[in-house]
Chain A
């Protein structure tokens, strides 16, 4: 069972100590289609919960990526910048976007668990 948490903007968060790894969900990737470009927040940047923290572009369109929680970017995944198709092939592992030093752990509690998210994704279908 995954300990991942999920946002309504279709991001996932996986927490290890003070650090959260963030990416976009399998459902989001299915909606977007083939991803051909990604822009990530720079290391050292402070991002705010639900604020813009990157861009993904499919062959069709560009979409903003939001961060589900606040924090300082401690690492970003250059391998998906070099090969964006990794996001399509493995969105919730190899296709992670960035890691944050968590600012406020209570923000994590406001997110959905996997079961809640799957239900949300199915109902919203967007």
Chain B
């Protein structure tokens, strides 16, 4: 399959981006100032991310649609308010995760943001589950950009009047150059910020405006260090088809009603996970010293028993230390538990840590 480019590709190139293939797209991994600086800019100022490779799905329908979608997505779609967003998943029969997603109630129905690598498969799963009753569109003509960081609301407000009043995990329709754009207050960095869905033909012009007002372009490299500091999962690494939301420590994302009533794919496994059958749990892992523990690094107890493995790890520029996430046997998941990591056949001390590693308040 030929590598695709987003509508901002030429703009990234003009800004000096270094590219890498990601989920079938040629994506900017970093700009000339580098990942650590980009990370810090996002935490202190405002970073602009091109995430147009992600899937933007629209499913049109009303109450009937909410009832059907609740069978495959374990969140409250019957009671969700207009323009409200929820973090959720597409679950499989075994309670595993086909994809994690953000679903937003819009006037026409539901808008869902999907991971780039999963979007085509997700489309098939949703189409199979819903049949032909509802119109489903995976947008090809829309770009998605994220503006993240403490200055993002101020910068965005200068271009789009009214975004300041958006609450975290809420969105609304706005207009830019007489065309509809949809903005949600959300993100993947642990900072206040926005995701902006905008037609391909306007995205470069809009991105330039945000840059002119002080935002800096940020690549996928810093996006990864930012999300890991914020304790957020990366699909295909920290969660996948064999991890349940409960094992992944994402129980909070399944609402009380859905936990109790079930009625979605994979519920029996998820229910047994919640009722004391849980064998492993996703945790934060903080190595002592500078050693980086990457995906696949094995985790041992102090007495030498293998208890799990790392699923993501890097250097966290804002916490100024090595950070990681992984799965360990439930009995070893308590924060503070001392563990041993095996990196390149050498053993290193580490501790189970609370998540997130870095915490900031969102606009509520």
> Residues of A at under 8 Å CB distance from B?
33-34, 36-37, 39, 55, 57-62, 81, 84
Contact = CB atoms under 8 A, between A and B. Distances in A.
Interface of B: 29-30, 34-36, 221, 224-225, 290-292, 294, 314-315, 317, 322, 344
A66 to B, nearest CB: 15
A36 B29 contact: no
Contacts of A39: 344
A91 B29 CA distance: 22
A62 B34 CA distance: 17
Contacts of A34: 34-36, 315
Contact of B315 (A55, A59, A81): A59
A84 B290 contact: yes
Nearest to B33: A34
B356 to A, nearest CB: 18
A60 B29 contact: yes
Contacts of A59: 35-36, 221, 224-225, 314-315, 317
A62 B322 CA distance: 13
A104 to B, nearest CB: 28
B325 to A, nearest CB: 15
B29 A37 contact: no
A37 B35 contact: no
Nearest to A58: B35
Given A33-B35, A36-B36, A36-B322, 12 more contacts: A33-B30, A34-B35, A34-B315, A36-B290, A36-B292, A36-B314, A37-B290, A37-B322, A57-B315, A59-B315, A60-B314, A62-B292
Q: Which of A55, A59, A61 has the most CB of B within 10 A?
A: A59
A57 B317 CA distance: 14
B184 to A, nearest CB: 28
Contacts of A62: 292, 294
Contacts of B36: 34, 36, 59
18 contacts: A33-B221, A36-B36, A36-B290, A36-B315, A37-B291, A37-B292, A37-B315, A37-B322, A55-B344, A57-B292, A59-B36, A59-B224, A59-B225, A59-B314, A60-B29, A60-B314, A61-B294, A62-B292
Contacts of B30: 33
Contacts of B290: 36-37, 81, 84
Nearest to B30: A33
Contacts of A60: 29, 35, 221, 314
A37 B35 CA distance: 15
B181 to A, nearest CB: 32
Nearest to B222: A59
Contacts of A33: 30, 34-35, 221
Nearest to B346: A39
A57 B36 CA distance: 13
Nearest to A55: B344
A53 to B, nearest CB: 13
A37 B344 CA distance: 13
Contacts of B224: 59
Contacts of B225: 59
Contacts of A58: 35
A2 to B, nearest CB: 25
Contacts of A81: 290
A59 B315 CA distance: 6
Contacts of A57: 292, 315
A12 B28 CA distance: 29
Contacts of B35: 33-34, 58-60
A84 B320 CA distance: 12
Nearest to B344: A55
A34 B36 CA distance: 7
Nearest to A31: B18
Contacts of A37: 290-292, 315, 322
A33 B219 CA distance: 13
Contacts of B315: 34, 36-37, 57, 59
